[in-house]
Chains A and B, each alone.
Chain A
Amino acid sequence: MKKTILIPIIFFGIVILLLGAFSVMSFLSPIKAVKDLNLKYYDSAFSSGGTLKDYLFEKEAAFLQARTQMAETDSVCLSIDLSDSLVLLEMQGIMLLKARIIRIEKSNIFNRLHKGTYLEYFSKPLEIDSEYSTIPKEAFIIKQAPKDTTETAPPVAKPDTLHKEAVCFNLYLDRNLMIDIRQVDTIKNEQYLAYHKYLRKERISNQIRSLMKFSVPHYEPWIRIDIPAADAKSIYKAMPDHGQVAVKL
């Protein structure tokens, strides 16, 4: 009888110990991420002193510098200004689309970066490494040419305007930053659930991989913004595969 009680107690004890250890490692994860970013991107050229006002001016300068660099290319680029709650689609510095950000959430580590790190990190455009979306970038309709006039199809039907799609996409950028853009009032349909499932799977697989090696999990800084559906769709369809993004927090 005692054996039968002891075994589950020991088993649970081990599980709790392991979970405790993993909690501590998770706790250390953002701290390690901040340390690594400060080591990699800290630029002493940016003055370490100064006031808050100085810093905000420098932030604006860093953002404009990234946008100016993007303006030298011919591609569509994305500028995300969280302080003014605006998303801009630009081409050679010309504004194509301006969208108001309705909701912002972001990782807690950005405010914990050293000023020199932040300014160096965001003063150059970031490049999209990969992306995932609930909508296709281009969706073609295949039409077989009729053999003669008797087979000619009727004119194109009016698009189904009642069809609601959930527009959500995330951009994985080259400096280990993830931007999650979603339409406001997301419709929780199959596409949205699949999107959530994908994000969850990515997160869990990264964490489990680290835990298996008993190492501190990798922390990926993230920004999530909600914008109107039409703008989200236009932005996603306009952005090229390895497009550039400028961010101002």
Chain B
Amino acid sequence: MTEPGKFKERYNSSREFRMTVNIITGTGLLILTLLICYSFVLHVMPAVMEGGARLLPVQTPDKMDIIDSEDSSSDQIKITGKKIDELRKKLEKQLPKTPYLVVNTTQNRFFMYSGRKLVREGICSTGSYTLLVKTNEQKGDEQKWIFRTPKGIFRIREKKTAPVWKKPDWAFIEEGLPVPSANHPSRYEYGTLGDYALSLGDGYMIHGTLYQRFLGMPVTHGCIRLGDADLEAVYKTLSTGAKVYIY
């Protein structure tokens, strides 16, 4: 091969090599830049933002570092103190005058209070959050029932001993049984609800259970189930009209 040909070949391969290096370097730099920008937005900016806030003078400190050595403006404190007392009294007025019940449906626990004093606490069972669906293939429609303990403020409407459970339609449907007429004897179950029942209205009750092992779990159709001893205590303490807070 002649000298100029060799030179041309060497020159071309060197140029290609340089192009490759440039492309790789350029891509690397671009990726590095993107990483730097991403890290900047993710980490540096939030830190700088909080840092910026620190430069401002503190106007309203959190803690009382030195209380006694400061002269307080006693008039202002008296006014504010009076306002605090009034507000506290207003909140106290909301407290029921008779014992009341608080039910936590997430943890399946109940708390019975008299004023601010906790009288009794324990486990209970609340709604299972089941949606029962019955499909009517002939009509092509569906019936639905939601088994959930309602939340809010309720009052004890009625108190019963040796309650009898009048089974609603869903109690038969979920067992695959035919639904009997409204007052059919098979609708009535004795002993299932325990020794006592306290009605909250709309079919919801606080009652006992045969399934003591399921206490503390969300297994009911909406009612609140208590153990025998707890049920007796609640029945004897809460009067008709007592408040029940369910959350």
Contact = CB atoms under 8 A, between A and B. Distances in A.
Interface of A: 4, 8, 11-12, 15, 19, 22-23, 26-31, 34, 47, 49-58, 60-61, 64-65, 67-68, 71, 74, 76, 82-83, 89, 91-94, 96-97, 107-115, 118, 138-152, 156, 158-159, 200, 203-204, 207-208, 211, 217, 219, 230, 233-234, 237-238, 249
A140 B37 CA distance: 44
Interface string B41-65: 1101110111111111111111011
Contacts of B33: 11-12, 15
B175 A156 contact: no
Interface in B126-168: 128-135, 146, 148, 151-153
Given A22-B40, A31-B52, 18 more contacts: A11-B29, A27-B51, A27-B52, A31-B56, A61-B80, A71-B91, A93-B91, A94-B102, A108-B50, A112-B56, A118-B60, A140-B146, A141-B130, A145-B176, A149-B176, A151-B176, A159-B217, A217-B45
A142 B247 CA distance: 22
A120 to B, nearest CB: 12
B102 A96 contact: yes
Given A55-B60, A61-B80, A142-B131, A108 B53 contact: yes
A178 B81 CA distance: 30
Interface in B175-193: 175-177
B53 A31 contact: yes
Contacts of A208: 41
23 contacts: A8-B29, A11-B29, A22-B40, A28-B52, A30-B52, A51-B72, A53-B70, A54-B80, A71-B90, A94-B95, A94-B245, A96-B247, A109-B56, A115-B60, A142-B130, A143-B131, A143-B132, A145-B133, A145-B134, A150-B176, A151-B176, A234-B107, A249-B62
B72 A54 contact: yes
Interface of B: 22, 25-26, 29, 33, 36-37, 40-42, 44-46, 48-62, 64-67, 70-73, 76-77, 80-81, 83-84, 87-88, 90-91, 94-96, 100, 102, 104-107, 128-135, 146, 148, 151-153, 173-177, 214, 217-219, 245, 247
A144 B135 contact: yes
